[in-house]
Amino acid sequence: QKEVEQDPGPLSVPEGAIVSLNCTYSNSAFQYFMWYRQYSRKGPELLMYTYSSGNKEDGRFTAQVDKSSKYISLFIRDSQPSDSATYLCAMSVGTDKLIFGTGTRLQVFP
Amino acid sequence: DADVTQTPRNRITKTGKRIMLECSQTKGHDRMYWYRQDPGLGLRLIYYSFDVKDINKGEISDGYSVSRQAQAKFSLSLESAIPNQTALYFCATGGTGNTGELFFGEGSRLTVL
């Protein structure tokens, strides 16, 4: 069993839709939770960061962590074609080594 | 210029050849990492280094070696390349902040025939 599980998609939604991306994990010691966005032919870039449980909002993006269920989510409101990318969840026990999910490919069509 | 630069960006080689992928950074970070990305498998850690004298194996280090020549340079070598090492390789750096954020290069696509 992988430490971090993520549905690879692809997920295809119309512009303006609310998108929900999710990851589950097995290591209860994870404390740092991140979402990276990766455009085609580019390296991943940090999108959202959360420490421990709770919610964090940044513009159209909301990250949620539920440590009791070992489940994290990323919500994208009013999705845009420019949001089309692969979204990778990542988590770690400390700050030195991230474990990544497989990534979910998102396509937002006009 | 990019903060994390990888060379070459694309490479095609043959089975048994020695290959080196190079990474240099201008972010002044101590921590450097090599990951490989494969469809359906995501990013997997090969090696990481916290400073010039510190090298650590990741989850898939077999068949690979690394060298930290300076704080800003971290190279990955495949001593005898094999086809299942065909993948997209990423170098990343991490600062000393408390978020664990990594900064990635643009990737090196390696094809082993």
> Closest Cα to residue B52, out of B36, B31, B34?
B31
Contact A49 B101 (CB under 8 A): yes
Q: State residue B97's pLDDT score.
A: 66
Q: Model confidence over A80-100: pLDDT tens digits? A: 999 999 999 999 988 778 899
What letter would DSSP give residue B42? E
pLDDT digits (tens, 9 = 90+) for B53-71: 999 999 999 999 999 999 9
B87 in A contact zone (CB under 8 Å): no
Cis peptide bond prior to A10, omega within 30° of 0: yes
Checking if the pLDDT of A63 tops 70, the result is yes
Residue B100 scores a pLDDT above 90: no
| Closest Cα in chain A, distance from residue B80 (Å) | 26
- Closest-CA residue of B relative to A95 is B100
Closest CA to B24 of B67, B79, B86, B80: B67
φ, ψ for residue A83, nearest 5 deg: -80, -5
Spatial separation of the C-alpha atoms in residues A100 and A36, rounded to whole Å:
9
In this prediction, residues B18-44 reach a mean pLDDT of: 93
pLDDT for res B9: 96
Looking at chain B, the whole-number percentage of residues with pLDDT higher than 70 is: 95
Mean pLDDT of A8-29: 94
Contact B100 A43 (CB under 8 A): no
Contact (CB<8Å) A34/B42: no
Kindly state the tokens that stand for A103.
Answer: 């990534």
- In this structure, what DSSP letter does residue B30 have? S
Q: Are A34 and A25 in contact (CB under 8 A)?
A: no
| A102 CA: distance to closest CA in chain B (Å) | 4
pLDDT of residue B1: 62
Tell me the two tokens of residue B10. Answer: 């694309």
Write the CA distances from B69 to B22, B66, B106, integer angstroms. Answer: 10, 9, 21
How is residue A14 written in tokens?
């119309």
Q: Per DSSP, which regions of chain B are E strands?
A: 4-7, 10-13, 19-25, 31-38, 42-51, 54-57, 65-70, 73-78, 87-94, 102-104, 108-112
Contact B105 A43 (CB under 8 A): yes
Chain B residues in contact with A32 by the CB 8 A cut-off are 99-100
